[in-house]
C-alpha cells in the first residue's frame, strides 16, 4: 500500500531523513522504532507532506504523492495523528469529531460516522458534549485518533500515541489499534513503548540518525534485547 523509496528530508540545513527505503503492506501494523531524534516523526511528516524540503518517492497505492499537498494525500486515504493531538479549544468532543469530515467527500455520512465512532470509542460517547480540551490526556489522544478515523482512511500514521498516558488507557488504546487493523485500516506507528508496539505489529524498522539500520518481523525484534538496547533505549 505504501512504498517509500530513497526518501530524503531537510529542516533548513539539517539532513534529517537520509535515503529511507521501506514499505507497508495493506492490512499491516508496521512500527518505526529508534531513539529520540532518530528521524521517526520527520518520516511521518514527510510522508504526509508536511516537510517542504524533500526528495525521493512516497508511493501510495501505486501513485507517487511526493510534491502533493497534505490535503491531496488525505483525499487519497492517508490520515495523520501528530504527537501533540491538536484538539481545538472551545469545541466539544462532537464538534472536534465533525472537523474530521469537513474536508472529506463523505460529509453526507456525518451522522452515521458519529454513531460508528461513538460505539468504537465508548469513553468519547459518554463525553460528546464536553469540551475536548477538558478530557484527560489519554482521552484527548483517543479523540485525535477518532477524528482522523471519521473519513475512513485506508492508512493512518500515528505518532507516539501512548506518550504521557496512564497505563490503563495505553492498554485500551493498543487493543483499539488491533481492532482497527481487523476492520481493514493499515497502520504506520511511531512509538517509544517498544514492547507494547512490537506485540501488536507485523513488522518493524529501526531508524538511527535518519537511516534504517535494522528491520524484521515484529516477533523476532521483540525477542532481540540487544537490538532494542542498542537502538531504542531512551
pLDDT digits (tens, 9 = 90+) for 6-26: 999 999 999 999 999 999 999
C-alpha separations of 184 from 6, 18, 120, 169, 175 in Å: 28, 31, 14, 23, 15
Q: Would the pLDDT of 50 be above 90?
A: yes
pLDDT at 4: 97
Q: Which three-class secondary structure state does DSSP give residue 118?
A: helix
Grid cell 451522522 is found at 111
Residue 197 counted as domain residue: yes
Q: Which pLDDT tens digit goes with each residue over 87-122? A: 999 999 999 998 887 765 566 677 788 888 888 888
Instruction: Give, in degrees to the nearest 5, the angle at Cα 7 between 27 and 67.
Output: 90
pLDDT at 103: 60
Q: Which pLDDT tens digit goes with each residue over 174-221? A: 999 999 999 999 999 999 889 999 999 999 999 999 999 999 999 999
pLDDT at 118: 81
Residue 144 counted as domain residue: no
Residue 114 counted as domain residue: no
Across the range 21-45, mean pLDDT stands at 95
Residue 29 counted as domain residue: yes
Across the range 73-91, mean pLDDT stands at 92
The 3 state secondary structure assigned to 31-93 is EEECCCCCCHHHHHHHHCCCCCEEEEEEEECCEECCCCCHHHHHHCCEEEECCCCCCCCCCEH
Residue 34 counted as domain residue: yes
* Number of other residues whose CB lies within 10 A of the CB of residue 72: 12
Angle between helices 137-149 and 93-102 (to 10 degrees): 30
Residue 121 counted as domain residue: no
Model-wide pTM > 0.85? yes
Task: Kindly report the CATH number assigned to the domain that includes residue 31.
Answer: 3.40.50.300
Across the range 115-130, mean pLDDT stands at 87
DSSP category for residue 210: T
* Domain, as residue range, for 32: 2-83+154-231
Average predicted confidence (pLDDT) for the chain: 91
Q: Which three-class secondary structure state does DSSP give residue 80?
A: strand
Number of domains comprising the chain: 1
DSSP category for residue 154: S
Residue 24 counted as domain residue: yes
Residue 100 counted as domain residue: no
**Distance between CA atoms of residues 156 and 28, nearest Å:** 11
**Distance between CA atoms of residues 216 and 30, nearest Å:** 10
**Distance between CA atoms of residues 32 and 234, nearest Å:** 15
Q: From the centroid of its chain, how far is CA 227?
A: 23
Angle between helices 137-149 and 167-182 (to 10 degrees): 10
pLDDT at 104: 58
Q: Which secondary structure element, helix H or strand E, spans residue 6, and what is its range? A: strand 2-11
**Distance between CA atoms of residues 118 and 101, nearest Å:** 15
Across the range 27-36, mean pLDDT stands at 95
Across the range 121-133, mean pLDDT stands at 90
Amino acid at each position: 500500500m505504501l512504498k517509500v523509496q530513497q526518501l530524503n528530508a531537510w529542516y533548513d540545513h539539517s539532513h534529517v531523513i537520509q535515503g529511507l527505503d521501506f514499505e507497508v503492506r495493506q492490512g499491516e501494523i508496521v512500527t518505526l522504532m529508534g531513539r529520540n531524534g532518530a528521524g521517526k516523526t520527520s518520516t511521518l511528516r514527510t510522508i504526509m507532506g508536511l516537510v517542504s524540503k524533500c526528495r525521493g518517492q512516497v508511493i501510495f497505492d501505486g501513485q507517487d504523492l511526493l510534491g502533493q499537498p497534505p490535503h491531496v494525500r488525505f483525499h487519497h486515504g492517508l490520515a495523520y495523528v501528530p504527537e501533540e493531538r491538536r484538539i481545538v479549544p472551545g469545541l466539544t468532543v462532537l464538534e472536534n469529531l465533525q472537523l474530521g469530515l469537513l474536508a472529506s467527500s463523505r460529509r453526507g455520512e456525518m451522522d452515521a460516522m458519529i454513531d460508528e465512532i461513538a460505539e468504537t470509542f465508548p469513553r468519547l460517547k459518554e463525553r460528546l458534549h464536553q469540551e475536548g480540551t477538558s478530557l484527560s490526556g489519554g482521552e484527548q489522544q483517543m479523540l485525535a485518533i477518532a477524528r482522523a478515523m471519521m473519513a475512513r482512511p485506508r492508512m493512518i500514521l500515528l505518532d507516539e500515541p501512548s506518550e504521557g498516558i496512564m497505563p490503563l488507557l495505553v492498554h485500551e488504546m493498543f487493543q483499539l489499534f488491533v481492532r482497527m487493523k481487523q476492520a481493514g485500516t493499515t497502520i504506520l506507528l511511531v512509538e517509544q513503548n517498544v514492547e507494547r508496539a512490537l506485540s501488536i505489529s507485523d513488522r518493524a524498522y529501526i531508524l538511527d540518525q535518519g537511516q534504517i539500520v535494522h528491520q524484521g518481523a515484529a516477533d523476532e525484534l521483540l525477542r532481540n534485547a540487544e537490538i532494542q538496547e542498542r537502538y531504542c533505549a531512551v
